[in-house]
Amino acid sequence: MNYYSEIKNELINNEITKKVKDYSKNKSDLTTYYNVGKLLSEAGKHYGEGIIKEYSRRLTNELNTKYSTRVLYKMLKYYNFMIKEKVPTLSAQLTWSHYDELLKFDNIDEIKYYIRITEQQNLSVRELRARIKNKEYERLDNDTKDKLINNTNPVVNDFIKNPIVIKNNTNKEIISEKVLQRLILEDIPAFLDELSSGFTFIRNEYRIKIGNSYNYIDLLLYNIEFNCYVVVELKVTELKKEHIGQIEVYMNYIDKHLKKITQDKTIGIIICKKDNKFIMEYCSDSRIFTREYLEI
C-alpha cells in the first residue's frame, strides 16, 4: 500500500470539499484527519516513526501548504485518542480547532473532561481556551475526577471548582462581603460557570423574614439539573462555625417557604477567603459546601 499517496489524496479531497461545501467543513476536517492519522499509524509500523518527517517535507512541497511534522503528529494523536477511548469521530459541537487545543494535553481524562463540557455547553474555541487557562479541570477535587473516570452519576457539588475564581477588574480591595458580591454581579455568567452547569441566578440580597426581623441572603440561585434552590453566602474571612449556623437557617427557611414538594432540598454554598477544613469535618449538614475564592 502506498501510504503517502493515500494521505496526499485525503488532504487534497478535503481541501476541495471545503471549497465547494462550506457547510460541511467541520465534518470533512475531522473525517480527513482521522483517516490521515490512521494511515500515519500504519505507515509508522512499516517504516518507523521517522516517516512522518519525510511525509511532511513531501506534502509541503507538492501541495504548496505547510503540513508540519507537528500538524501530522497531532492528526496521529487524534486518531489514537479516538480509537483508544472509543469516542465518536464526529461531533456537532467540536471542531478541529477545539481538538487542536485539547490534544496539547497528555492527560486523557483532562481531554475527556473538556470534550464533555464543550458538548454540554456548546463552547466556542475561545470559551474553551478561557476555561483551560483558568485551570478548570485542575480545580476539581479528586473524588469528582474519579467519578468522571468511572462514569459515576455526579451530585450537585461535584463540579463546583475550588478555589472559585472571582475576576477583579477594578482597583478595589475585597474588604467586605458587599464588595465581593459586587464583583460577582458584574459578571454573573462567569460566576455561574465557576459553579458548574445548571445554575441560574434568582437575585442578590434576597429578603426573608425570620421572626420580627428581616435577613438578606447574599445570593439565591437555582440548579435546574438537580431541581433545587441554592443559598450562597459570601465571607471575606476564614470559615467560622457561626457561618454554618447562619446558612442552615437560610436553607431551612427556603425549604419551608419556597420549595415545592416536587423539588429537592435546598443546598448551601459558603464562599470564603480560606476553607477551614476542621470546622467542616464536624459539620453534620451534608448539604453545605465550602469553597475558597481566588481573586484575579
Cell of 229: 434552590
What pLDDT is recorded for position 155?
82
> Cell numbers at residue 206, please?
434576597
Give dist(CA 238, CA 231) in Å, integer: 18
Give the model's pLDDT for residue 50: 87
- Encode pLDDT of 91-142 as tens digits: 657 899 999 999 999 898 999 899 989 988 889 999 999 999 999 999 998 8
Residue pair 98/73 in contact (Cβ under 8 Å)? The answer is: no
Q: Classify 141 as helix, strand or coil.
A: coil
Q: What is the pTM of this model?
A: 0.79
Contacts of 102 (CB under 8 A, 6+ apart): 111, 114, 115, 128
Say if CB 247 and CB 211 are below 8 A apart.
no
pLDDT at 270: 92
Return d(Cα 221, Cα 200) in angstroms, integer. Answer: 6
CATH number for 153-295 (one of 3.30.390.10, 3.40.1350.10, 3.20.20.70, 3.55.50.30): it is 3.40.1350.10
The ranges assigned to domains in the chain are: 3-139, 153-295
DSSP notation for 6-23:
HHHHHHHHHHHHHHH-GG
Q: What is the pLDDT of residue 218?
A: 97
Name the percent of the chain in helix, strand, coil, to the closest 5. 55, 15, 30
Give dist(CA 166, CA 27) in Å, integer: 37
Q: Which residues of the chain have pLDDT under 50?
A: none
CB-facing half-sphere around the CA of 293: CA atoms within 13 A: 26
